[in-house]
Amino acid sequence: MANIDIAKRVYDHTFKMDPIVRSLLDTDVYKLLMLQTILQEWRDLPVTFSLINRSKTVKLADEIDEAELREQLEHARTIRLSKKESIWLAGNTFYGKERLFTAEFIQWLKDYQLPEFELAKRDGQYIIDIHGTWAEASLWEIPLLTIISELRSRSAMRGMGRFEVDVTYARAKAKMWEKVLRLKKLPNLRIADFGTRRRHSFLWQRWCVDALKEGLDQNFVGTSNVLLAMDHDLEAIGTNAHELPMAVATLATDDEGIAASPYKVLESWQKTYDSNLLIVLPDTYGTTRFLQNAPDWVADWKGFRIDSKDPIEGGEEIIAWWQKMGVDPKDKLIIFSDGLDIETIESTYHHFEGRVRTSFGWGTNLTNDFRECAPYANERLKAFSVVVKITSANGKPTVKLSDNLAKATGPESEVNRYLKVFGREHLTKTEVHV
């Protein structure tokens, strides 16, 4: 399987249906880690998850066949956790800990099925919503995104000839390997694959992981994809996401409760996890305000993940906060993960080398960088910005502000309310590409 001819597989498409989602573990590990906490704390909270295409010029309903989309979504609902997968989850070591996933959690996952979805079209876009309890609906995020992304890639390549497909993949491989050669020059680099959500395809993500594993050796620390981690004997890398504070904020009865919600999430997280899993994601409602009001005990956590702020600006802000709290930044970790590509990784690495421990989560520009790879211009092969977000919880709309307001989600009236609670003076608005 590792030596499969991707170009031939893509060109032939002789399968009645070539499944995009192959396993419940074809997801990011942070979804499973969050789910274990959700099951313990808020399992029955009613929620809605929705597809949000931030690239408005990309008309998904014009590019992806609806029948094919429905077929892939329905197939994902037939998948169950296999015996091999449940044994691996129970016996594998995650972040240096055995039995990180409890027997109760694994038994729940054995019986799990992705819930029903609602699909409609509007103005050239697909409207896809999932309703259910938080525990039921949460796992749809990653398979929904991978199905949308890969169906778009398949559609873009469907009219290509055999040699055109072959040349496209040859150029993409060469482009990817050139990036690996540049990364090899960074001796203390720690980098992981975070590219599941908006990958070109499952087979391409697997090729990229193989390339990183061979090219970077110990500097490649793992993948966020649980299935690939299992199949390639890699570390499964990831902690938590914006979903947690977005939902928990809806449980607040007043603005003061909303302001406290990011810290309430961390309190719940440390009931379940400790040590290497104590990574703060501070930007749901703005990193600067988060740090201004953070309890002292947050400084004891292992590190932070910067997801929507300029990496150097965000890193400097967190280092200054640690120093203010009397903590040596050299003992801490900063993970960079927002739209990274080779130039950003190199400049950020050199800026912080020797001052703080760093790690990089390389996403869309790792697993879906086909820019200028096709022999003829093909705009549909370019990655675009699509997400699946929790859009309501507890009967209320959810809000994400982000350090970059171009990533904000929620009804305008609610976004404005949250801006009053958290302030907007430290937030920016910059175009989002991936």
**Secondary structure of residue 260 in the 3-state scheme:** helix
CA 25 to chain centre: 14
Q: How far apart are CA 192 and CA 219, in angstroms?
A: 9
> In Å, how far are 10, 195, 227, 308 from 223, measured between CA atoms?
24, 8, 9, 20
Residues 6+ apart with CB under 8 A from 236: 29, 92, 94, 222, 223, 224, 225, 226, 229, 230
- Split at pLDDT 50, 70, 90, the class of 241 is very high
Instruction: Give the tokens for residue 236.
Output: 């499964």
Q: Of 18-22, 244-248, 305-309, which gets the smallest average pLDDT?
A: 18-22
Measured N-to-C along each axis, helices 255-272 and 29-41 cross at an angle, to the nearest 10 degrees, of: 110
Q: How far apart are CA 417 and CA 80, in angstroms?
A: 41
pLDDT at 202: 95
H or E, element range at 144: helix 141-157
- Split at pLDDT 50, 70, 90, the class of 15 is low
In the chain, % of residues over pLDDT 70: 98
The answer to whether the beta carbons of residues 203 and 146 sit under 8 Å apart is no
pTM of the complete model beyond 0.85: yes
Place of tokens 């910059």: 430
Q: How far apart are CA 76 and CA 22, in angstroms?
A: 8
Q: Can you say whether residue 402 is alpha, beta or left, with left for phi > 0 and alpha for psi between -120 and 50 degrees?
A: left
Q: How far apart are CA 347 and CA 343, in angstroms?
A: 6
> In Å, how far are 124, 152, 241, 376 from 382, measured between CA atoms?
18, 10, 25, 13
Residues 6+ apart with CB under 8 A from 61: 121, 124, 125, 126
Q: How far apart are CA 127 and CA 49, in angstroms?
A: 11
For 339-358, write each residue's pLDDT tens digit.
Answer: 999 999 999 999 999 999 99
Beta strand segments in 55-180, E: 93-94, 97-98, 118-122, 125-133
Q: Can you say whether residue 111 is alpha, beta or left, with left for phi > 0 and alpha for psi between -120 and 50 degrees?
A: alpha
Q: How far apart are CA 335 and CA 281, in angstroms?
A: 10
Q: How far apart are CA 251 and CA 271, in angstroms?
A: 19
pLDDT at 3: 64
Q: What is the mean pLDDT of residues 11-30?
A: 84
pLDDT at 433: 87
Q: Of 183-192, 378-387, 392-401, 413-422, which gets the smallest average pLDDT?
A: 378-387
For 36-46, write each residue's pLDDT tens digit.
Answer: 999 999 999 99
Q: What is the mean pLDDT of residues 372-397?
A: 95
The answer to whether the beta carbons of residues 349 and 147 sit under 8 Å apart is no
Closest CA relative to residue 273, chosen from 35, 111, 81, 91: 35
In the chain, % of residues over pLDDT 90: 94
The answer to whether the beta carbons of residues 191 and 221 sit under 8 Å apart is yes
Q: What is the mean pLDDT of residues 412-417?
A: 98
For 91-135, write each residue's pLDDT tens digit.
Answer: 999 999 999 999 999 999 999 999 999 999 999 999 999 999 999
Closest CA relative to residue 249, chosen from 392, 141, 389: 392
Q: How far apart are CA 213 and CA 206, in angstroms?
A: 11
Beta strand segments in 108-210, E: 118-122, 125-133, 191-193
